[in-house]
Each structure stands twice: as structure tokens, then as C-alpha cells.
Amino acid sequence: KNITFNYSNSFLKKHEIENSRRSVLEAHKMLHNKTGSGSDFLGWIDYPISYDKKEFERIKEAACRIRNNSQVFIVIGIGGSYLGARSAIEALSHSFYNVLSQDKRQGPEIYFVGNNISGTYLKHLLDVIEGKEVSINVISKSGTTTEPAIAFRILKTYIEEKYGKEGAKQRIFVTTDKIKGALKELVNKEGYEAFIIPDDIGGRFSIFTPVGMLPMAVAGLDIDNIMEGAKIGREEYMEEDLYKNPCYQYAAIRNVLYNRGKIIEVLVNYEPSLHYMSEWWKQLYGESEGKDGKGIFPAAVDFSTDLHSMGQYLQDGRRHIFETVLNIENPREDIKITDDEANIDNLNYLSGKSMDFVNKKAFEGTLLAHVDGGVPNLIINIPTMNEYYFGKLIYFFKKACGISGYLLGVNPFDQPGVESYKKNMFALLGKPGFEKLRKELMKRI
């Protein structure tokens, strides 16, 4: 079975889609011939076949060691060095993975840090891991990002105090650039086991590199199948013809909708385990397309939870939104609704039905209501959520993002905007080299 794309509720006319055909073909050529902007960062396109197979085996070996000697695994990273691993682990593991009994989980508890600057968060984590065997994976392509660097400094001290310098060396894993950056220098000095983030793959496109794969393997996910899904996705979504390529259809249609004034795309899921998939997707599209005063604003909701909050706006608020629904055709687990003789809650009409049956009716009912409310609804049907389809879906979104960015006329592979806050923060913190900016900013606050 395949991932399919349904745009029958997009409100678009046939000719609007036909009109995108030529521009999609051009975008396809720009990507594959590396003639568009940002073409130094296209390593992700062929990565599912070109990846370093020896390093991949080393990831599995390291994961095996970590699973054997650690009760806790801490992943330090932010943005593209964080969201991919978390989205995979949440989408594919038990919903309550960290609190499952050890025999059911068979791997360490996994925590993500360095994705914020909250002392409360890190202090609370230290409370949770007290007395447990710990390993850490610090992930940063630049090796200089402040949030993970602070978290790593604190945890490195913690782990060295606990195991001694030599012991810590066996428990610190670094994922960073091949040659440059502060983390790489530390690897050279301390002799930590290191994994490489290729030069030509930007953070938000790096999920299949060791950035995502080491934490996924530690969680016990089948990374061979994830890569297989990505590999098949790469083949299928290379098709030039818009009408035969669901990935390109998604890219094209979201741009037609954008040009019609639908400037916000809301990614919808009906499975709580997909919350972080949406976070990953938001970064991918927000950072790739939001530039030069343009771009769809990527938002996300978890249904049916958010039908009781954001549902009102979607149904009835300003009409500048379209929705893209992730429809998992067959859930990973299901449970039947019990019968109750007294039927005081009047739910006996659902006795014996599965929760997924009800969930699907919520999806269908919402779709029709929102379409009636004038909200275009696109549907991505995913046969089930397993490693293979996860890999394929991620590739689908990455490829669509590259095409979509070129259709929009931006460089989808840079992120100049994320630097501005950093400069101000460094200046306000008194980082050497930022003295002039500090003076200017201090006058304003």
C-alpha cells in the first residue's frame, strides 16, 4: 500500500492545477540538476542511498551498548538537531514509553534537553535521573548553538563527576560536523565517539543522518526500515509528472491555495503520538519558506483535542486557512468500547465499536464541516504508522518542501532569519565581540 494524497476538497479548479504543471517541472529540474538557490544543501535528496553504511552499522552498535548499560539516554539538541528524533520516537514508540516497565520497554528512558534555556526544566531532569545509569548524545552541526552548548556543559560536568573522566568518555556520544566547530574540537581532545552530519545537509533536513538515527536506534526503532521507507520515497517522488506524483501535487496545491489568500496551513492529526511530527513539519516548512516577506505560516493542531479549542476558529473564523490532514488508515493499536446495561451515558449505540471507528467518524465529520465552512482540506493517507511509512512520509514532506520553496521563489535551504535573535541575545549577555550592539540595545530596553 502507498501513501496517497487526496485534494478533492481543495476547492481548486482543474486548470489551476494544470497551470502549475510547468512550474513544478522546472522546480523538479532545479532540485535534481542542482541549479536552484541553496543547491549546496541538497545532500538529503540522495542520502537514503548514499549514506555511509559503515557509520550506519556503528550507530546500531553504539545504540546496542547504550541500551545495555544505560537506564537513561539524554539527547541534547535544538531545531533540526532535535525535532526529527523526537518526532520518530513519539510516532513509533509506546505513548508512555518513559514510564513503561523496563521489561516492556527494553531500552533506556529518553529525555530531550538543550531545546530551551529553562533552568527549571534541566533541574527537574536532574531530579528524574538521580541514581540511574546515564548516557548522552549531544547533537549540533555548528557545535556552537547556545541552548545545547549550555545543557551539554552542565551534563558533561554531571556525568564526569559520576563516572570520572574515563568512564564519561564511554557514555558521551557526539553528532556534529566532520571537521569544524567547538564540538568537533572537544571530540578530538576527549576522544568521544562521534557521528557525522554531512556538510550538504541542513539541520531540518537531517533526520535520516546520525542526528535522528542514533536516538531512534537507542529507542529500539528499526532504523533499517526507516531508511528503506526513505529510499522508496526517494524513488517514487522523483516522478516528473505532477499527476503521477502525490508529493509534487501537495507542493503545487499548497502554493495555489497560498496565491488564493490561504496563507496559513494547519497540519491536522488524530493521533497524539504525531504531535512532534507536526513540530518537525512546522520547522521544515516555516524555516524553509518564511523569508523575503513571503511564505505560508505553518501551524498544527491535535484533534480531537483541539476541536474543543481551535475548532471554533477553523470552522468560523477568518477564511485564510487551509488544512492538511494526516490520516492514519490503520492505527497501531485499538480498543473496543464496552457495553453497559444501564446506559446512563447513552453510549450503547457505540457498544462493540472500536475507538478508531469513532476517531475516523470524527475525522470525516470534521472534514465535511470545515469544507462547508469554506476551508480547503487536503488529506495525506498513510496506510499505518510504522518505521517504513514514517521514513517515506518524512521524505515526502522534505521533497515537497524543496519543490514548494522553489515554486514560491525563495531559497528553501537557508535560514538567515534565525540569526537575528542570537545576535541580540549574545550582545545582551555580554559575549565578547558584541560590545557595540550591546550599547545600542541597552538604550532600547
Active-site position among 287, 289, 323, 387: 287
115 binds ligand PA5 (CB under 6 A): no
Residue of 236, 287, 356, 387 that binds ligand PA5 (CB under 6 A)? 287
H or E element at residue 57: helix 53-69
Size of the site for ligand PA5 (CB under 6 A): 14
Nearer to ligand PA5, 174 or 257 (CB): 174
* Least distance (Å) between residue 42 CB and ligand PA5: 14
* The amino acid at 155: L
Cβ pair 112, 82 in contact under 8 A? yes
From 134-142, 300-308, 312-320, 394-402, give the range in contact with ligand PA5 by CB under 6 A.
134-142
How far lies 117's CA from each of 13, 78, 387, in Å?
48, 11, 32
Cβ pair 427, 441 in contact under 8 A? yes
* Least distance (Å) between residue 431 CB and ligand PA5: 16
Per-residue cell: 422: 542570537
146 binds ligand PA5 (CB under 6 A): no
Residue of 36, 203, 210, 412 that binds ligand PA5 (CB under 6 A)? 203
Residue 43 and residue 407: Cα distance in Å, rounded? Answer: 20
Nearer to ligand PA5, 81 or 245 (CB): 81
Name residues contacting ligand PA5, limited to 379-418 (CB under 6 A).
415
Nearer to ligand PA5, 152 or 322 (CB): 152
Name residues contacting ligand PA5, limited to 41-100 (CB under 6 A).
78-81
232 alpha carbon, distance to own chain's centre: 19
Per-residue cell: 383: 496506510
Residue of 28, 67, 184, 204 that binds ligand PA5 (CB under 6 A)? 204
140 binds ligand PA5 (CB under 6 A): yes
Cβ pair 67, 218 in contact under 8 A? yes
H or E element at residue 314: helix 311-316
Residue of 37, 39, 98, 142 that binds ligand PA5 (CB under 6 A)? 142
145 binds ligand PA5 (CB under 6 A): yes
Tell me how many degrees the CA angle 241-242-246 measures, rounded to the nearest 5. 115
Torsion of CA 222, 95, 324, 397, to 10 degrees: -20
Nearer to ligand PA5, 78 or 408 (CB): 78
* Least distance (Å) between residue 148 CB and ligand PA5: 6
- Going across the sheet that includes 109-113, the strands are 109-113, 72-76, 134-139, 172-176, 193-196
Q: For residue 390, which of 225, 236, 276 has the smallest C-alpha distance?
A: 225
Residue of 107, 202, 215, 246 that binds ligand PA5 (CB under 6 A)? 202
Return the CA Rg of the chain: 23
The CB-nearest residue to ligand PA5 is 203
Q: Give catalytic status of residue 53 as yes or no.
A: no
* Least distance (Å) between residue 196 CB and ligand PA5: 12
Q: Give catalytic status of residue 422 as yes or no.
A: yes
Give yes or no for a cis peptide into 278 (omega within 30° of 0): no
Any idea which residue has 550582545 for its cell?
A: 427
* Least distance (Å) between residue 188 CB and ligand PA5: 18
Interface residues with ligand PA5 (CB under 6 A) are: 78-81, 140-142, 145, 148, 202-204, 287, 415
For the annotated catalytic residues, the residue numbers are 287, 422
